[in-house]
Amino acid sequence: MAHPKRKISKTRRDKRRTHYKSVAPTLSVDSTTGETHLRHRAHESDGVVYYRGKVLMEKNAEE
């Protein structure tokens, strides 16, 4: 296994890690239902599944 010849200082280590950030997911508001959802994902509202403002699946009347 490789071992460092010199100790890496905490400052140098932290400078390298500054780019590792968590990013909040981008949210959108559906134009049809007004619900907030993740972008590029289908979402459900009152048993109906929507994607880009259009109905993908409706709730069955049998249920």
Q: What are the sequence ranges of the domains in the chain?
A: 25-63
Q: What is the pTM of this model?
A: 0.57
pLDDT beyond 80 at 38 = yes
For the record, the structure tokens of 10 come out as 């905490």
Q: What's the mean pLDDT when you consider all of the chain? A: 88
Q: Rg of the chain over CA atoms, in angstroms? A: 23
Spatial contact of 44 and 37, defined as CB atoms under 8 Å apart:
no
pLDDT beyond 90 at 6 = yes
Spatial contact of 48 and 59, defined as CB atoms under 8 Å apart:
yes
